[in-house]
Amino acid sequence: MQSQTTRYGFAVKIESGEEIIASLADFATENGLRAGLISGLGAVLDPELGFFIRDSRSYIRRVFEGEFEIGALTGNFSELEGRPFPHCHVVIGGSDFTASTGHLFRGVVSVTCEVQITTDPGVLRRESRPDLGFNPLALG
């Protein structure tokens, strides 16, 4: 991973072979990020996406086998149980130009992943809510 400071945060290049969510979490830990926006694009291999089912309080998870373009990677940084938490969604497309989208659980960069991070000096915290099946922001 390579990074450069910008006026409002960071530009980050996640390299081929690196996992996106783990790389973002490591970057946030190294730079003390506990609040911010994530925006990116690139290419990913075998991404695992999720769709949250409210009634069952669980995700349908699917691994998309193969290489895909990342048309949009969007998310935020917060803190969960004292650690940085990157929460990301992604739109991916294959050679048939069909798009799929969902919560990004895992994805290994195949070519590159270029990410802009807009930081905030504050802290956004999430609360662990097993009864809901996800960890919502705790605001206010």
DSSP per residue, 12-68: EEEETT-BHHHHHHHHHHHHT--SEEEEEEEEEEEEEEEEEETTTTEEEEEE--SEE
pLDDT confidence of residue 3:
97
Residue type, 88: C
CATH tag, 2-122:
3.30.1330.80
pLDDT confidence of residue 31:
96
pLDDT confidence of residue 113:
98
What is the pTM for the complete model shown?
A: 0.93
Residue type, 104: L
* Residue pair 93/66 in contact by the 8 Å Cβ criterion: no
Question: Residue-wise pLDDT tens for the chain (140 aa)?
Answer: 999 999 999 999 999 999 999 999 999 999 999 999 999 999 999 999 999 999 999 999 999 999 999 999 999 999 999 999 999 999 999 999 999 999 999 999 999 999 999 999 999 999 999 999 899 999 98
Residue 77 CB neighbours (<10 A): 27
Domains of the chain by residue range: 2-122
pLDDT confidence of residue 140:
80
The torsion defined by the Cα of 12, 18, 22 and 25, in degrees rounded to 10, comes to: -20
